[in-house]
């Protein structure tokens, strides 16, 4: 069986962005508020058998997408594999809570995701602090998720 195509046409890209309301579906930053913008993420990477269908695609800021890479989960406590948060299956507020500048994981899925996507590094906290100060984080669209 040939591998799935990496190609995502403009119509599907637009659908993914609009469905996400132009928010990173992982850290909830709005595309307009991140210098490098947002990208299409394969939730399950192609090399792990994922597809380029809408059900396997998410909108992700460059930082979340780069840190996630082709990973599908992480090992917690040295021996327990835990999958990442899946925006098509999971509700953000069940796995994370926004506490001031921090995105606090509430579950092992949230913990694995926050750990690998580096939600709470100094740089990302500074970015959120700047956006909070000007009333841009969380955005109105993000408030629906919280």
Q: Is residue 24 part of a domain?
A: yes
Q: How far apart are CA 22 and CA 47, in angstroms?
A: 26
Among residues of the chain, what percentage have pLDDT more than 90? 86
For 72, the domain range is: 10-137
Q: How far apart are CA 5 and CA 46, in angstroms?
A: 8
Q: How far apart are CA 22 and CA 13, in angstroms?
A: 11
Q: Is residue 5 part of a domain?
A: no
What is the total count of domains within the chain? 1
Q: Is residue 143 part of a domain?
A: no
Q: How far apart are CA 91 and CA 146, in angstroms?
A: 9
Nearest to 96 by CA among 115, 73, 124: 115
User: Which residues fall within 8 angstroms of residue 140, CB to CB, at 6 or more apart?
Assistant: none
Q: Is residue 18 part of a domain?
A: yes
Q: Is residue 51 part of a domain?
A: yes
pTM listed for this prediction: 0.94
| Confidence band of 1 (pLDDT split at 50, 70, 90) | very low
What is the per-residue pLDDT across 41-95, written as a single tens digit (0 to 9) for each?
999 999 999 999 999 999 999 999 999 999 999 999 878 899 999 999 999 999 9
Q: Is residue 76 part of a domain?
A: yes
């Amino acid at each position: 069986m040939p591998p799935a195509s990496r190609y995502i046409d403009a119509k599907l890209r637009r659908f993914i962005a609009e469905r996400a309301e132009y928010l990173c579906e992982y850290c909830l930053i709005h595309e307009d508020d991140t210098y490098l913008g947002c990208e299409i993420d394969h939730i399950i990477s192609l090399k792990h058998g994922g597809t380029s269908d809408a059900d396997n695609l998410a909108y992700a800021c460059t930082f979340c997408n780069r840190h996630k890479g082709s990973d599908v989960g992480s090992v917690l406590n040295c021996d327990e594999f835990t999958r990442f948060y899946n925006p098509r299956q999971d509700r953000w507020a069940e796995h994370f809570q926004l506490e001031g500048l921090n995105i606090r994981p509430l579950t092992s899925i949230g913990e694995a995701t926050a750990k690998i996507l580096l939600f709470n590094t100094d740089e990302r906290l500074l970015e959120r602090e700047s956006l909070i100060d000007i009333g841009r984080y969380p955005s109105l669209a993000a408030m629906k998720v919280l």
